[in-house]
Structure 1
């Protein structure tokens, strides 16, 4: 484990703060806008997200899985919520009815996870999410995040036209951070993310003064069920519950990947503590209008990029994150960080996640048959990601958000293939055939 000086710890803590903030800030803003909430309420939800994300990170790093892995709003649930809000009119439901069903689904999933942990039944989750399913998960997560951040690097105007100068600037930030990472000395390479964020922010202020955002501040209290009170909208509850249970695979993928990187094998107790915290976070998220939380597998890409594995900067960064929410003026100022700059830096950080995905296949050898267990779910999932969701409008409205989500479909296909097919038989047949060829 690499040791850091006081200045190095301070810089690494600030780097973690920027990383956690950049991965969090856009989620409550986009969800609040999708549900048509006024600016003041969106600001209050953002404040809740800042406070809670920091606390969630600290608790997981301190008493949960005890790895430096960001705990934040799940991209799976985030995408599902946005899809449901868009499909509200087609389903003949109000946004408050859908929001209340989502809250109920999150709370129900959290309670189920807590009960499974209480009765020591969480091991069945690991039997479902096998190493191959986790490899599919990592590949799909990589493609999903890269698509999100690549699109976020592009500045689109009010008339759906590309702002070329700002977009080119984003690619310049990508090149800068990549060069710092590849060519820089360790003292520079390890802080390429932080340098890219700060330098990109300052240059953006100088080059595009007319494009500056406004600080989002809230002086009010935290809101309860801002998207709608819990209800018994069975269809919405079931879809949210299913997505929330799949979201648990974040914990397995993240902890296993981090353990390989840090050389510390996780214990069953670590998994249990992490699950219990994630379950309680799901309940809290449903109450305060947040997106369900989970350990970010993408944090492994961040760790591989910075090569700083110490927990202390992570814990400090999480504490500073909560401080931004407690002191609204601080969070409001940091919220003016240009979205295109944040996405450009995260794009580089998450390139490392592709390497993590490849490493997860280290124990597998594929032939013309067994390649289907990986290629099938990954390519089906990626294919759906590129399909216009409106093409699924002829399906039952409650299935549309699920079927149009390439990530969820890909993981479900991987689970089915692993449970229905004995792949070891085809691996043995391939080995026997190769042996016969060598002997002849």
Structure 2
């Protein structure tokens, strides 16, 4: 029973933290309500399967998979090419699903050749700190906008919505730090449940009637057609794969650090297996015409808040997500979770990530070098976040997708700066 309750909590967290991406992508491609529902179904199904693949053959840690932000950006870029480089949305989506299959193959090749293991040394405490802070800074704006009901530049702040969100944040903090162990363990589930009821009472959520037109609907394969050769897409996929590997390594590194510091657990080095599993997951994403998944760093905040480091509830939660996607009626209920509730709970969880980031930085023996690395990475990464994406429309697709992502660019800059400083130190010592 304990694992089922924990699994349900993982399932709610996975769905709440991932459902925005397929909805947003469906919107930019002009999908109708049926196409959108099926796209959400396929994406959630792939995420549930991806979690199981990582749990059994990959890194074997409780790190949920979510839609990769880099792929999200590429989807948006390619939506803008419909009518220019691609005759229809279907043709653009066909190229994207082909690119994810290519990315999956490259993930596996890099792992098998041993390049993944060599890249792990790049993620020092200074780089991990920079990555975590950029992740938090990038998402904090999204969280707060969602909590006040602002979607567009001209939207006014909804005072009642904001008040309800603040109450949910407060409830989450109370349950996360409660003296009763079971309250702490299920803090996310309790906070989302109480928050959902609260938003129903204040009229900011709707009572959902399950749709009973079809009881069961399995996700379809290759919805947009067979894989095609698209040289531009494959070049983009290759570049994105290298950056996704960096993202994956950072997420694994963060969870390893949490396990050691908070649970006195030293996980085995399974970076190579994690990369192979990511390759398999990208193959699934391409075959099921979904969004490419990546291990989510926010899982460390979730585990730190709930004190659930065991893999069993995580596996149960992944199975629950897969089962839910097969039943459209149940999926429609979960999809109706008020977005401000999800944002408020996630906001509270991410405060744990800030604590973890500073603990990482304090673990670096060469503090002066670490400050320089973090300064360059943070200033460039945060600076990019303020540059409008429209300003990069004339750049090549792969370059635009990367430069519009301050998280990845800032992390890569931090790695390059640190390697340069280490090289200088080695030369000085000779």
Unaligned runs of 5+ in 1: 1-5, 430-440
Q: Is the 8 A contact 1:97 1:233 kept in 2?
A: no
The answer to whether 1:24 aligns with 2:18 is yes
Root-mean-square deviation (CA), in Å? 3.0
Equivalent in the alignment of 1:246: 243
1:227 CA drift (Å)? 5.9
Matches within 5 A, 1:331-410: 331-361=331-361, 362-367=363-368, 371-393=371-393, 395=395, 399-410=399-410
Matching residue within 49, 55, 58 for 2:52: 58
Residues 241/397 of structure 1: CA separation in 2 closer, same or farther (3 Å cut): closer
**TM-score scaled by structure 2?**
0.87
Matching residue within 104, 107, 114 for 1:110: 104
Note the alpha carbon deviations across 1:284-338, whole angstroms, 9 max, x for none.
2123222211221110011111112122111111111111012221111111111
Residues 45/394 of structure 1: CA separation in 2 closer, same or farther (3 Å cut): closer
Matches within 5 A, 1:285-324: 285-324=285-324
Per the alignment, in what secondary structure is the counterpart of residue 399 of structure 1?
helix
**TM-score scaled by structure 1?**
0.85
Equivalent in the alignment of 1:88: 81
Q: Is the 8 A contact 2:166 2:344 kept in 1?
A: yes
For 1:236 and 1:195, the matched residues in 2 are separated by 43
Structure 1 window deviating more from structure 2 (377-386 vs 255-264): it is 255-264
Structure 1 window deviating more from structure 2 (322-331 vs 215-224): it is 215-224
Residues 67/204 of structure 1: CA separation in 2 closer, same or farther (3 Å cut): same
For 2:191 and 2:18, the matched residues in 1 are separated by 18
Q: Between Structure 1 and Structure 2, how many residues are aligned?
A: 420
1:89 CA drift (Å)? 6.4
Unaligned runs of 5+ in 2: none
1:112 CA drift (Å)? 1.3
Matching residue within 146, 157, 171 for 1:162: 157
For 2:382 and 2:226, the matched residues in 1 are separated by 35
1:74 CA drift (Å)? 1.8
Equivalent in the alignment of 2:326: 326
For 1:397 and 1:239, the matched residues in 2 are separated by 7
The answer to whether 1:175 aligns with 2:170 is yes
Residues 128/227 of structure 1: CA separation in 2 closer, same or farther (3 Å cut): farther
1:131 CA drift (Å)? 4.7
Equivalent in the alignment of 1:202: 197
Q: Is the 8 A contact 2:99 2:233 kept in 1?
A: yes
Note the alpha carbon deviations across 1:408-432, whole angstroms, 9 max, x for none.
2212212322343436629989xxx
1:354 CA drift (Å)? 1.6
For 2:358 and 2:202, the matched residues in 1 are separated by 39
